[in-house]
Structure 1
Amino acid sequence: MKKIAALSLTVLLGSSLTFGSAYAFSDLEEGQATAVLALKDRGIVSGFDNEHFVPRGKISYAQSVQMIVKGLDLNLDHLRFIKQPLASDSYSNIPNDAWYADAFIIAHYHNLDIPKDVNPNATITREQFGNLLVKALETKGQFPLVKMFIQIQDEDQLTVDYQGTIQRLLLYKITTLDGDGNFHPKSELTRGEAATWLYNAIRMLETHVQKPPQVEEVTVSVEKVNDDVNKVTLSRGVKPNPGYGINIDSIQFEPGGQAIVKYSLTEPQPDKMYAQVMTEAKAETYVSSKYVVKAEVSGTK
C-alpha cells in the first residue's frame, strides 16, 4: 500500500490566475479588494498583469476547481492507494497531464459534485461554483448554522440538487442575494465573485475550525550575556514576509535544572498585506545560566 502524501498543485489557476507580485490592482470593484489581495498574498490568485485583475472576467470550471482545492487546502494525506490515482479514472474529459488534473483527483476523493463528463474549459455558473465551494468547505468540519429558510425570488431557476447547498452558502454568509432577492443561479460566475466567495469561505474555516498543532522546525540558540544570564533565541528561519512570526508564551523551570521555553507560531493574516521581504522570524528571552534550555510548542506536555 502506498500513501500519496499530497498531489502537487504546480499551476494555481492556469495562465490567468497564477501567482503574481503586484501589490494592488486598479480595476477592482467595490468590496472586492480585501478578498482579492488577501488571496493574492497567499498565492491563490493574481491578475492578468500587475495592474489588472479583470474582476468581471469569466472563470472556467478547471480554474474554479483548482482555486477551491488550493484555497481550502484539500489534499489526499488521509488516504492510501494501491496505485496512484489518475484523472482518467474518474473523468472522461480530464487529461492526466493537464495542469488541473491533480485538483480534479483531489476533488473526486473529497466527494465534490463534479460530473464524470465535465468540460474543464467551460465557464462555471454561480450555482455550480456555490455548490462545489460549500461541499468542499464542509469536508473540513461542522459549522454553526442558523436554522432558517432564506427566500430566493428566482429559486425556480435553481437546479433541484443544488437547493440545499445554495441555502447554506447564503446562511454561511459566503455571499448574499441581490437587491431584489435573486441569486441568478444560471449566470456565469465572474473572477471577482469567485475570489470574494472563496475568501469568505476561508475566513469561516479559519474562524470556526480548530487548527491542528503547529509542526515546524524551530532552532534554539543560547548566547552568554554574563556569568549569570544567557540570551535564548528561537528562530523558525527566513520567511517570505513579516507576517510569519514566533511568540514566546511562557518558560517552565523544571527540577533538575531544565528550562522549557513554550512558543507558538503566527501566520500571515488573510486580510492584511505584507511587503514581500525575506525576514527571519525569531523571538528572544533571557534565562538564568543555571538552566539547560529546551523549546516546545505551547500545549505540549
Structure 2
Amino acid sequence: MRNLMKKPLILLMLIAIFSMGISGSAFAHKGNNQSKQNEKDSLNAATAVTMIVKGLDLNIDNIKFIKKPEASDYFTKVKNDSSYAEYFIIAQINGLGIPKDINPSAKITREQFAKWLFGALSHKGNYSWIEIFQSVSDADQVTNGYMDSIQKLLIAKIVSLDSKQRFYPKSYITRAGADDMISKTLKFIKNTKSETPDTSVLNQVKITSDKETDSVTRVMLSVLVPHSGFGLEITGIQFSKGVATIQYRVLEPDPDNMYSQVITELKAVTYIPSDYKAVLGTVQPTAPFQG
C-alpha cells in the first residue's frame, strides 16, 4: 500500500520538475528573442547620423566653401561616394562631434547617440541649463566626456532613466529609441526660448604698440572673428595728457552674402606720436560691412 502511494507522489514531483524546466527554458528563449530583436533594430552610425541631420533639419546652406567639401576631409572611413556621405559632412559642420575614425556600419550605443544629439541641439540654439546633477546608477559605464550630454538631455526630458535610475549607456540605440529622442528634442526646441548668442567681438579687440621710428609709434588693433565677412576700422583718436585713446568699431557682415567659416584675424593700424601711450577707447556702434 505504501509503495502504491509513493509512486504517484514521485510521478507528481517529476512532472513538476519537468514543467519548471520547460517554463524556465521558455522565459530564457523569450529573453534571448527580445535581445536579438533589440540588436536587429539597433542603428549603425550611418543611419543614426542621417536621422539626426534629417530630424533636426540641419544643413550647410548658408556656408560658402572655397572648395566642395568631401567626407574624406573629415572622416577616414566614410567614402565620398556613399549615400550617406553628405549627412556626415553636414553633421560634422553642425557640431555633432563625430570621431574622425567612425565606422559607418558600426552599431551605435545610447551614450553615443545622446552625445551627437546634444551636439546638434547646442548648434540649433543657445540654451541655458540649470545647475543640477541627476544620479545615474550605471554612471560607471558612461565613457569619459559623455556624461555632460546625458545630464543636459535628462534636464530637457529628452531622455529618461528607468525605475532603478539606469541609463544603459552601452546598450545599442534602437530606431524607436532614436525616433523618440529626436521627437522630444524638436519639442524642446519649439517650447524653449533660445538666448541670443553673444556674437559681438567688440570686447575681444586687442591693442599692441610698436616703435615705428624714434618719433612715431605704430598702433595695431586686432581681433579674431568667425569668418572674413567682418571688418574692423579705427574711427578716431583723442589725445590728452600723454594718452592717445583709440576709438574703433567692427563692421558687420553683409547678411545677403555667404562666407567661409574660417577663423580670421582682422587688423587695423594707425600711428601716433611716440610720446603718447595708446589705449582702447569707446566702442563705436557697429556698421554694415561695405568692403
Query: TM-score, normalized by length of structure 1?
Result: 0.50
The one of 151, 159, 168 equivalent to 1:167 is 151
Segments of 5+ residues of structure 1 without an aligned counterpart are: 1-53, 211-301
Distance 1:117 1:55 in 2: 23
Counterpart check, 1:100 vs 2:74: no
The residue that corresponds to 1:73 in the other structure is 57
Give 1:209 shift: 4.9
Distance 2:65 2:54 in 1: 22
Give 1:175 shift: 1.2
Secondary structure, in 3 states, of the residue corresponding to 1:188?
coil
Distance 2:116 2:96 in 1: 6
Secondary structure, in 3 states, of the residue corresponding to 1:81?
coil
Identity of aligned residues (%): 43
The residue that corresponds to 1:152 in the other structure is 136
Secondary structure, in 3 states, of the residue corresponding to 2:41?
coil
The residue that corresponds to 1:193 in the other structure is 177
Give 1:207 shift: 1.9
Instruction: Describe the superposition over 1:194-242 as per-residue Cα deviations: whole angstroms up to 9, x where unpaired.
Output: 11001000111122257xxxxxxxxxxxxxxxxxxxxxxxxxxxxxxxx
The one of 164, 180, 187 equivalent to 1:180 is 164
Segments of 5+ residues of structure 2 without an aligned counterpart are: 1-37, 195-291
Tell me the C-alpha RMSD between the 2 structures. Answer: 1.9
Matches within 5 A, 1:24-173: 57-173=41-157
Counterpart of 1:151, as a letter, is S
Pick closer, same or farther for the CA change 1:55–1:70 going to 2, 3 Å.
farther
Number of aligned residue pairs: give it. Answer: 158
Higher helix share: 2
Counterpart of 2:178, as a letter, is A
State which drifts further: 142-151 or 188-197: 142-151
Give 1:147 shift: 2.0
Distance 1:128 1:180 in 2: 21
Instruction: Describe the superposition over 1:96-145 as per-residue Cα deviations: whole angstroms up to 9, x where unpaired.
Output: 11111001001111232111111101110000000000110110112343
Distance 1:156 1:83 in 2: 44
Contact 1:124 1:189 survives alignment (8 Å): yes
Contact 1:56 1:192 survives alignment (8 Å): no
Secondary structure, in 3 states, of the residue corresponding to 2:62?
coil
Contact 1:170 1:176 survives alignment (8 Å): yes
State which drifts further: 135-144 or 174-183: 135-144
Stretches (4+) displaced over 3 A: none
Distance 1:76 1:159 in 2: 30
Contact 1:56 1:191 survives alignment (8 Å): no
Pick closer, same or farther for the CA change 1:92–1:141 going to 2, 3 Å.
same
The residue that corresponds to 1:288 in the other structure is none
Counterpart of 2:124, as a letter, is K
Secondary structure, in 3 states, of the residue corresponding to 2:153?
helix
Counterpart of 2:103, as a letter, is N
Distance 1:55 1:88 in 2: 29
Contact 1:55 1:191 survives alignment (8 Å): no
* Structure whose CA Rg is larger: 2
Give 1:56 shift: 7.0
Contact 1:71 1:198 survives alignment (8 Å): yes
Secondary structure, in 3 states, of the residue corresponding to 2:135?
coil
Contact 1:55 1:193 survives alignment (8 Å): no
Secondary structure, in 3 states, of the residue corresponding to 2:124?
coil
Give 1:55 shift: 10
Give 1:176 shift: 0.4
Counterpart of 1:97, as a letter, is D
* Greater RCO (CA < 8 Å, at least 6 residues apart): 1
Contact 2:138 2:167 survives alignment (8 Å): yes
Distance 1:111 1:173 in 2: 21
Matches within 5 A, 1:193-232: 193-209=177-193
Counterpart of 1:116, as a letter, is K
